[in-house]
Each structure stands twice: as structure tokens, then as C-alpha cells.
Amino acid sequence: MDGNDDLDQYSRIPTLDDLKTLCQSLNEHQVKYVVVGGFAVIHFGYIRATGDIDLLVEDSPENTERIRKALAYLRDSEAEKISDTDLAEYQIVRVSGEITVDLIARACDVTYSMAQEHIEYHELQGVEIPYLEPKLLLETKKGVRPKDDSEFLRALINE
């Protein structure tokens, strides 16, 4: 649960269908989350590859339990091993199986509670997907990722 990359060798690249299925399960289990990272940047129009699905999540024990239940559908997932304190203890909790899902309680000082009022919901094949709006998404990218993401987000914000 500490972000060990050894598990990634068994994961495949996630697709939009994977994002839809994941969000549908998270929504059904009432998980408090928002999509950040590559899939959020792609959603807003920047074409790039991503090897995982990044989620900014509330790190409460109740939400962690909902996350465990929601991710149980993933084949070969290690979701059941997430402890109630892992999200608070680790920067990223990586759940690898068929696909890789990164659970993040704090992304460059942005927490789920800060993000709640900056979520844009978009429907994907009947499933509501919560994306972090570009301005705050940019804050989650400071010093972490290639500058291309940041430059794209700055241009999008200034449009």
C-alpha cells in the first residue's frame, strides 16, 4: 500500500470505459472523491497518455471503508488491504490489479475538502464523473508533473 511499483507490471493502461466503471462503483458506494491527474487533464482537452487513474479522496475511516467496497470489483485488486489510516499515512495509496488506481488524500496541499467546491460534473455514458476544475487542478500539479500539463492548464484558465 506504499506505492510499490512492482504491482504495476500486472496492470494494463486504463481506458475511458475503466474510468466510467470505476466512477460508477464509487458513486454507488457514495465515496467522496474527485478525478485529478492525467484523466482530468485529458478531459479538459490535453492529449497525453496516463498509466493510472488518480483520485483525490476524503481520508476519513468511513470514506476509506466505502472505497474498499467500491474497488472490490477490480480483478486482482489489493483494495481490501487498505487500512483506515493508510490515506492519512501515505502520500499515495496505489491499488494495482487489472488497472492501477492512485488514491490521494493531499495533492500539493489540495485536500478533498478544499476541492469540494471546485468540482465539475460531466456525464460519461450515463455516469456522473467529478473532475477537479482546471484552476485548482493546476495547484495539484505544482512541482510534480511535466510542465506540459501546467502550461496547458494555465492556457485553459486564461481562455
Residue 10 sits in a domain of what CATH number?
3.30.460.40
Report the alpha-carbon angle 46-92-107, nearest 5.
55
Query: pTM above 0.95?
Result: no
Number of domains comprising the chain: 1
Domain that holds residue 148: 5-157
Report the alpha-carbon angle 111-42-20, nearest 5.
80
Task: Check whether 149 has a pLDDT greater than 70.
Answer: no
Higher-confidence position of 139 and 34: 34
Supply the pLDDT for residue 18.
98
Give the pLDDT band (50/70/90) at residue 78.
Answer: confident
| Structure confidence by residue, pLDDT tens digits, 109-146 | 999 999 999 999 999 999 999 999 999 998 887 765 55
Please tell me the distance from the alpha carbon of residue 50 to that of residue 45, in angstroms, as a whole number.
Answer: 14
Please tell me the distance from the alpha carbon of residue 158 to that of residue 144, in angstroms, as a whole number.
Answer: 22
| Structure confidence by residue, pLDDT tens digits, 39-56 | 999 999 988 889 999 999
CA dihedral over 145, 148, 149, 153, signed as positive or negative: positive
